Homo-oligomer: A and B are copies of this chain.
Amino acid sequence: MPARQLAANCAAPGPIACRSCDLNEVCRLGGLIAFENARTRHSTGALRTVAAGAALFRTGAPANSLFAIRQGMLKSVHVNANGDERVLAIHIPGDVLGQEAFGLGTYASDAIALQPAVCCEVPLPFLGHQSTRSQELGMALVRLLSRGSVPQRHPGRGSARERVTTFLLDLAQRLERRGFDGRRFTLGLSRQELADLLDTRLETVSRTVQRLHRERAICVNGASVQMLSLASEPDSA
């Protein structure tokens, strides 16, 4: 088995625990999680498997479902008329995708699996129907969507070095919050995709990553990353 695939499991060693998922509350109030324990992680919702490189959904497609990532990582991308893609964000287990569905009726970006991924699919009609019954579900939905509209700073800010460190620190932090190891993980992204996300060139990303490696701030081996002494640097350096 190739080293990269193996390492990929560091980021998603198994299905995320439902309790760490952003959709948890909505699922529960909607009556979707019948049972889950440490031994048997079942979901009563529909599961959808996505092969690496395949799309969970595409821009403009009728949006009928909300998704939560159960396993694997996905990227949100815009593909412009010329065919080149712009990575908007990457998503880890526990993240919710397709939140724009309610307002737009169609998805607003492509969601592409970076590794073999498994997503929980919650049909919108189901949510609509359930929320007529449960006042609480409606409010949970509002809270979920509200959290999604927090004005964010884009990772593509500052010097190339700042962009890379900010990205890595952010990813590490997010993984930790989901119960994964934030100090040792695998980048599901190629240098090109990373460059795209950070709004720079793949050569620049490569150089910057290598430099951080030389400085022993991180330990990189292809896609696998180990955080050693990486600290955010707001202005200095």
Residues in A lying within 8 Å of B, measured CB to CB: 76, 78, 80-82, 84, 86, 88-89, 99-104, 108-109, 128, 131-132, 135, 138-139, 141-154, 156-158, 199, 234-235
Contacts and interface: CB of A to CB of B under 8 A. Distances in A.
B146 A235 contact: no
Given A103-B144, A156-B199, 6 more contacts: A78-B153, A86-B157, A100-B146, A100-B150, A103-B143, A154-B156
B81 A234 contact: yes
Copies in the complex: 2
A234 B138 contact: no
Contacts of A128: 139
Contacts of A99: 146, 149
Would you list the 9 A-B pairs with minimal beta carbon distance, nearest first? Answer: A148-B149, A103-B146, A103-B147, A102-B146, A154-B154, A145-B145, A99-B149, A100-B150, A103-B143
Contacts of A143: 102-103
Given A148-B148, A151-B76, A156-B199, A142 B86 contact: no
6 contacts: A100-B147, A102-B143, A103-B146, A108-B150, A141-B142, A148-B148
